[in-house]
Structure 1
Amino acid sequence: MSDIYATYQRLKFDWPAERVLRVTMENPGRLNSADHVMHRELVNVWRDIDADPNVSAVIIRGADGAFSSGGDLDLVKEMTEDFQTLTRVWKEARDLVYNLVNCSKPMVSAMEGPAVGAGLVAGLLADISIAARDARIIDGHTRLGVAAGDHAAIVWPLLCGLAKSKYYLMLCEPVSGEEAERIGLVSLCVDSSELHDKSIEIAKKLAAGSPTALRWTKYALNNWLRMAGPTFDTSLALEFLGFKGPDVQEGLNSLREKRRPNFTKDCPL
């Protein structure tokens, strides 16, 4: 394992195939929620991967049958109370999206269980997104009491259209993996038992392809995302403005009640 990955704490790395790096989000006992450590690491890792000459393709997944259950509620609470934390996470959220969009290495996501929040950013901005049939994809922002930001305003309308985007983002309705494939939100849906093998199969094909052809094809296609930059910046600003608004504390309390008994796949938010 390259030394550049040795300092990561919440992200684990292995090589399931030649020149294929697999990144696993891991926050034990919390369905891989993104605390301040994981959030920062999800920002930085794409720069490291982009610069790593040993990587030809990358897979992003979650540990223990879950992709990611969204933002850690202690971090969310700190954002409502401390301006420095809020502005730091705002910058990280912006950099996370742009680092994913600008990473030249082809990416595959393997989503199962809850796929929410910062983890979902990587799941849906991956070049090839694969979801288990019973995955639960939820944006989650409006349930917390803030505007749908992060990646949502950029990629959801491009993937599944404006009408479906408004329905799912405004109502926070969960999208199963099967439905996500049907509406075009993800590239592919497979049975849970096939998810990780399929992600490796596709990553191996990408790793075996022409690096130049894939890199510049990705760059050209991602210009659709770059063109939405002003929309993204606006949505992100409105999202983080909401953390100082009147609805967040109520939303935070509601989510704490749902999460208090235990972190289960039935309570991803």
Structure 2
Amino acid sequence: MAHDGTYDDYGRLTFARHEPGVLLVTMNRPEKYNATDEQMHAELARLWRDVSADPLTRVVVVTGAGRAFSAGGDLAMVERLAGDHERVAHLLREMSEIVYGITDCEKPVVSAINGVAVGAGTVVALLADISIAAEDARIGDGHIRLGVAAGDHAAIIWPLLVGMAKSRYYLLTGEMLTGAEAERIGLVSKAVPRDEVLPEALRVAAALATGPQQAIRWTKRALNGWVRQAGPIFDQSAAYEMLGFMSPDVVEGYTALREKRAPAFPSAR
């Protein structure tokens, strides 16, 4: 389906065009550190189809408004999800659309990780074809701390980026790492000082946008064969994560996060 190049029906994402053919997408909920609520999650799920069909866009850059990239899933959304089979099933479908959407998007995607990236934010940050992080950005997968399996992007992409030892360490412990450490272990493409993140991402995007378009897109598609090959691993991890939303552990997880205290998970008593 042809796309008219406008994105007026988006509310949580804002759009700006940069020459030559670069679309800057900003997750725009700075008062909540760009945490993903139902609306933003839905918009991130359909964005990639729109971008693929947009004749004016050659490369996408994704960043966050304010000081954060995206602080994961909104706690209020997590509370609404817990124990609600219909909501959980809907989220599972959207999660697949985000992961496979970025992977299958014809246009290269560059992430400008300007600050904290957790949970749903880390999906876009790390599945992007090229990731530019602030050296002091804090990156992590928050699932274990919430009491659910590391689904989303974690099982599909972390082992490809950093190998099993580091993946197991960070995904089983839920520890955060800095942008500088993420670059050192290969989790992101490049780490730069915070004020250089967006200029560097736009510089890389402009280089991609002025390069041989078919060759770049076909190279992306070929490389992402590795990601598509791991599709069944993603599907399994996502289902396990959603199953966790039906468990007592997730209730304790979001309650402890809300109360800013250490969780006492029922399964560990």
> Would you say same fold, with TM above 0.5?
yes
- Structure 2 gaps of 5+ residues are 262-269
Residue deviations 1:48-83 (CA, integer Å, cap 9, x gap): 000101111110000012100000111111111322
Q: Which residue of 2 aligns with 1:152?
A: 154
Q: Which residue of 2 aligns with 1:173?
A: 175
Is the Cα contact below 8 Å between 1:22 and 1:59 reproduced in 2?
yes
Distance 1:3 1:105 in 2: 14
Q: Write out aligned runs for 1:95-106 (5 A).
A: 95-106=97-108
Shift of 1:218: 0.4
Amino acid of the residue matched to residue 23 of structure 2? L
Q: Which residue of 1 aligns with 2:48?
A: 46
Shift of 1:16: 2.8
Under a length normalisation based on structure 1, what TM-score does the superposition of the two structures give? 0.94
Amino acid of the residue matched to residue 254 of structure 2? L
Distance 2:60 2:95 in 1: 21
Distance 1:17 1:178 in 2: 29
Amino acid of the residue matched to residue 135 of structure 1? A
Shift of 1:2: 5.2
Distance 2:168 2:90 in 1: 28
CA RMSD of aligned residues (A): 1.4
User: SS where residue 31 of structure 2 aligns?
Assistant: coil
Q: Which runs of 4+ in 1 moved over 3 A?
A: 1-4
Q: Which residue of 2 aligns with 1:128?
A: 130
Shift of 1:3: 5.5
Distance 1:4 1:238 in 2: 37
Q: Which residue of 1 aligns with 2:265?
A: none
Distance 1:17 1:177 in 2: 28
Report how many aligned residue pairs link the two structures.
259
- Structure 1 gaps of 5+ residues are 260-269
User: SS where residue 258 of structure 1 aligns?
Assistant: coil
The answer to whether the aligner puts 1:73 opposite 2:70 as a matched pair is no
Is the Cα contact below 8 Å between 1:112 and 1:136 reproduced in 2?
no
Distance 1:6 1:100 in 2: 21
Under a length normalisation based on structure 2, what TM-score does the superposition of the two structures give? 0.94
Amino acid of the residue matched to residue 60 of structure 2? V
Distance 1:228 1:181 in 2: 23
Shift of 1:230: 1.0
Distance 1:58 1:158 in 2: 22
